[in-house]
Amino acid sequence: MLAAMSARADIAIIGGGIVGVATALALTNESKAHVVVLEAEPRLAAHQTGNNSGVIHSALYYRPGSQKAALCRRGRELLLRFCAEHDIAHEVCGKVVVASAPRDVTRLDELMQRGIANGLLGLARLSAAEMREREPHVRATAGLFVPETGVVDYRRVTEAMAAEVYKRGGRVVTGARVLAVARTTDGELALETTAGAERARAIINCAGLQADRVARLCGTEPGVRIVPFRGEYYSLVPEARDLVRALIYPVPDPALPFLGVHFTRRITGEVEAGPNAVLAWRREGYRKGSFSLRDAASILSYGGAWRLGAHYWRTGLGELYRSVSKAAFVRALQTLVPEVAAAALGPGGAGVRAQALDPTGKLLDDFCILESAHMLHVLNAPSPAATASLAIGERLAEMAKQSFALG
């Protein structure tokens, strides 16, 4: 899938994760624009999209009125419809959120009210006995059943979206890392990539882990920096998978954009346990020893990272301890399912979350899209971006039609 030299498009989308490809799908559907997706890696969905648990989120956690809440609800509807139309395996299995400490019960009630405000259907408070009916191996004071949560393989979804983009005349170019962007004398944008030259009237930056750097490459100061957090998982051995029927989550810390260690029965039947959230010293660093001098310097030279560390250093040390200590990881999981033992945990995968951080040390909680001349930059699109991807694509397509004067 190599691009021809100086190939032209109305819009070049940088990034072949699910958000980038969903945006191409929306543009080729609504505006009939000639679109090219430029993905740096040899395959699509190589990073955040292809290394998550595959959860279809319901919008339980997000602040009412936020982009996350609205786009997750809309995106979930579109995603389920897309999966049904394209025969993609998925399951709406529901999940339980577990209150394992007295303070969690109050938070659970607040979480339920937030879910109701976001339009979730079928939410149900559970007693300890009712919890055991749904998840027999959970031990908790109380719980919340969230029926609209599900699972899917987002890599498969992305590939199906890309196939639709091809059918509509769009192009998807893998192995096309963008090296330089310049404005031509006729007002177009010239992109130098490792797969050849491209020209476009406009750019949409969906580069995920590299989104801030791509923005700067395009001549835009993003005002934030991407700080990568690695989430590490174990996988339950086959003999222990019956400890988990569907999805089991803790009550999250409202001060942090992470959900805590949990159990997820994937669409394949495997059960993941995790993740923790540790600072990654490489943006695409999926192993504990992964290190990039450039990426480490980007973190250590940023005042926002130091301010974040000063505020959450205890939390960070706890996450790091669970990373190096399997016993500590097991203890965290046992607050949900006491029967889980170290022997039940086999090797699992890891994902890296692209988290935008501002200079004050604040982790951006909501989606963030920055507009500049003939460009849109998606600077923060962590979970639930995969669930919301088709709705994010709709939003970007609408913005593009208005900003780029598309027919």
Same domain, 125 and 164: no
**At residue 282, what are phi and psi to the nearest 5 degrees?**
-145, 135
In a domain, 55, yes or no: no
Asked if 134 and 242 sit in the same domain, the reply is: yes
We report the CATH number of the domain holding residue 35 as 3.50.50.60
Instruction: Answer yes or no: are the C-beta atoms of 95 and 248 closer than 8 Å.
Output: yes
Q: What is the largest CA-CA distance in the chain?
A: 71
- Are 38 and 13 contacting, i.e. CB atoms less than 8 angstroms apart? yes
Count of structural domains within the chain: 2
Residue 377 inside a domain? The answer is yes
Q: Is residue 56 part of a domain?
A: no
C-alpha separations of 85 from 36, 82, 163, 164, 384 in Å = 24, 5, 13, 12, 22
Query: Is there a single domain that holds both residue 302 and residue 192?
Result: no
Q: Are residues 101 and 247 in the same domain?
A: yes
Would residue 63 count as lying in a domain?
no
Using H for helix, E for strand and C for coil, what is the string for 89-149?
CEECCCEEEEECCHHHHHHHHHHHHHHHHCCCCCCEEEEHHHHHHHCCCCCCCEEEEECCC
In which element (H, E) is residue 163 found? helix 154-167
Nearest to 278, CA basis, from 351, 328, 368: 351
* Residue 371 lies inside a defined structural domain of this protein: yes
239 within some domain: yes
Domain that holds residue 382: 7-49+155-223+366-403
- pLDDT tens for each residue of the chain, 407 residues long: 434 446 899 999 999 999 999 999 999 987 778 999 999 999 999 999 999 999 999 999 999 999 999 999 999 999 999 999 999 999 999 999 999 888 899 999 999 999 999 999 999 999 999 999 999 999 899 999 999 999 999 999 999 999 999 999 999 999 999 999 999 988 899 999 999 999 999 999 999 999 999 999 999 999 999 999 999 999 999 999 999 999 999 998 776 667 789 999 999 999 999 999 999 999 999 999 999 999 999 999 999 999 999 999 998 999 999 999 999 999 999 999 999 999 999 999 999 999 999 999 999 999 999 999 999 999 999 999 999 999 999 999 999 999 987 75
Q: Are residues 126 and 245 in the same domain?
A: yes
Neighbours of 303 (CB within 10 A): 12
Whether residue 54 is contained in a domain is answered as: no
In a domain, 71, yes or no: no
Same domain flag for 246 and 349: yes
Q: For residue 123, give the CATH number of its domain.
A: 3.30.9.10
Q: Helices marked H in 301-376 — which ranges?
A: 303-324, 326-334
d(CA 361, CA 347): 33
pTM: predicted TM-score of the whole model, two decimal places? 0.95
